């Protein structure tokens, strides 16, 4: 793998997300999230597949910015990002239900990316929750994440393990 494409993707995503912030109390820079997703894939999932890592850096650009699929880096990356991108023209509940249904039919690359994304979101929910999310909403997010990931399991043992640990820690934090 050449780091050049991954660095290009991170720079592209940083530019596209430059005005966005996460929902935590500190309003963390949004770009931290795609970088964390790529890092979870590489470190905890032992993923060396450049396409997955580049797609991780870009996975929210089309969904959350004015980016088009045509702007992304190459056909394989574009196809993978397309596979994990929600259709924002649909209602929130419909999008959530579609994620659960589509997870099991996703490619193994998309499943790994989806698990890593959920790991990062759950960790953020545990350590830096959105300031306006009550415990009930956080608990609902955890349940929904488990449903999505259930359709993605058994493609990467390291990611499955990291997800299970993140869920366990999140549930403990909610009970505390």
For the annotated catalytic residues, the residue numbers are: 63-64
**How far is it, in rounded angstroms, from Cα 54 to Cα 10?**
8
Query: Phi, psi at residue 131, to the nearest 5°?
Result: -65, -25
Query: Phi, psi at residue 24, to the nearest 5°?
Result: -70, 165
Q: Which residues does 39 contact at the CB level (< 8 Å), separation at least 6?
A: none
- Structure tokens that stand for 169 in this block: 């820690």
R_g over Cα of the chain: 15
- DSSP three-state, residue 176: coil
């Amino acid at each position: 793998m050449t780091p050049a494409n991954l660095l290009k993707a991170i720079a592209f995503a940083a530019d596209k997300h430059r005005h966005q912030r996460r929902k935590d109390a500190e309003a963390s820079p949004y770009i931290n999230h795609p970088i964390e997703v790529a890092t979870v894939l590489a470190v905890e999932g032992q993923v060396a597949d450049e396409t997955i890592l580049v797609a991780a850096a870009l996975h929210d650009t089309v969904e959350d910015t004015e980016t088009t699929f045509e702007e992304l880096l190459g056909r394989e990356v574009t196809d993978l990002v397309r596979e994990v991108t929600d259709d924002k023209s649909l209602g929130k509940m419909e999008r959530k239900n579609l994620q659960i249904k589509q997870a099991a039919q996703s490619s193994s690359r998309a499943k790994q990316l989806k698990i890593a994304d959920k790991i990062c979101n759950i960790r953020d929910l545990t350590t830096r929750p959105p300031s306006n999310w009550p415990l009930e909403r956080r608990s609902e997010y955890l349940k929904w994440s488990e449903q999505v990931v259930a359709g993605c399991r058994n493609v990467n043992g390291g990611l499955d393990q990291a997800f299970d640990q993140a869920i366990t820690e999140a549930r403990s934090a909610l009970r505390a």
